[in-house]
Amino acid sequence: MRVLVIEDEAAIARVIRRGLEQAHYRVDVAENGAQGLKMAMEGGYSLLILDLMLPGVDGWRICEELRSRRDRVPILMLTARSGLEDRVRGLEMGADDYLPKPFEFPELLARVRALIRRDKVHKTRHIRIADLEIDTAQRRVWRAGTEIALSHREYDLLEALAAHEGQVLTRETIQERVWMDEESYSNTVDVYIGLLRKKVDAGHAVKLIQTVRGAGYTLRRPEEDER
Ligand code: CA
């Protein structure tokens, strides 16, 4: 796993590099903002450690630039001042976490590990079935590249089906998972399946949401039951 450290203070960069290398990360260091931004844009890093006060292009600018390019690499900001304003501004610009200087290395390492772990969880929570894509972290859905606007319930229902791709879920199971113990009418599931079909399947040759007579519903690629 590669980590990019953008830090102009050589002594701090050295401490971070040594510590992370001992923890088996591969570390690149950029000593100024312009170089750091260039390296970050080349990609391949699991995490960025970004100092705010840098000569030339500062940390905020780097963060803003990467996020405007839809680069979601986790960013840990190092803030020299403990001022709340710096932190808020950093988080607003898309940083994931911040660490005020001076810091102890174990604290930095703990943050690094947490951010990388969190990023992995997010990445694996991307469901793709045929041309249907679901980002469960953001609760967003696309079909053939076009985003579909779903209500809260419609989304929950779709995610429940998609998380069990190819398995038949009974109405009772769906009711329990999506509506929990709320009161709902006996045909609620069918009504919502109808709504979901209009949004997800209508206009597409391939119908992903399928009724299994007498059993319930399933979401799968149709070629699986044609064989
Ligand atoms: Ca600095």
Distance (angstroms) between ligand 1 centre and the Cα of 20 equals 19
Distance (angstroms) between ligand 1 centre and the Cα of 115 equals 22
pLDDT along the chain (227 residues), means of 10: 95 97 95 96 92 92 89 88 74 86 94 88 78 89 94 92 89 84 76 96 94 93 59
Distance (angstroms) between ligand 1 centre and the Cα of 53 equals 4
Distance (angstroms) between ligand 1 centre and the Cα of 25 equals 22
pLDDT on residue 32: 95
Distance (angstroms) between ligand 1 centre and the Cα of 80 equals 7
2-122 and 125-226 agree in CATH topology? no
Correct CATH for 125-226 of 3.40.50.720, 1.10.10.10, 3.90.180.10, 3.40.50.2300: 1.10.10.10
Distance (angstroms) between ligand 1 centre and the Cα of 72 equals 23
CATH number of the 2-122 domain:
3.40.50.2300
Helix/strand/coil percentages in the chain, nearest 5 = 45, 20, 35
Distance (angstroms) between ligand 1 centre and the Cα of 3 equals 18
Nearest by Cα to 135 from 145, 123, 146, 144 = 123
pLDDT on residue 182: 65
Q: What are phi and psi of 2, to 5 degrees?
A: -105, 135
| Residue 159 · residue 134 · CB < 8 Å | yes
The single-letter DSSP state of residue 185 is -
Distance (angstroms) between ligand 1 centre and the Cα of 28 equals 16
Q: In whole angstroms, what is the distance from residue 176 CA to residue 195 CA? A: 19
Going through 90-208 in order, the beta strands assigned E by DSSP cover: 97-100, 126-129, 132-135, 140-143, 146-148
pLDDT on residue 140: 93
Distance (angstroms) between ligand 1 centre and the Cα of 113 equals 23
pLDDT on residue 181: 60
pLDDT on residue 227: 42
Residue 155 Cα to chain centre, angstroms: 17
- Residue owning tokens 């609760």: 139
The domain ranges of the chain are 2-122, 125-226
Residue 226 Cα to chain centre, angstroms: 34
Nearest by Cα to 29 from 7, 51, 62, 47 = 7
pLDDT on residue 183: 67
Give helix then strand counts, H and E, for the chain: 9, 11
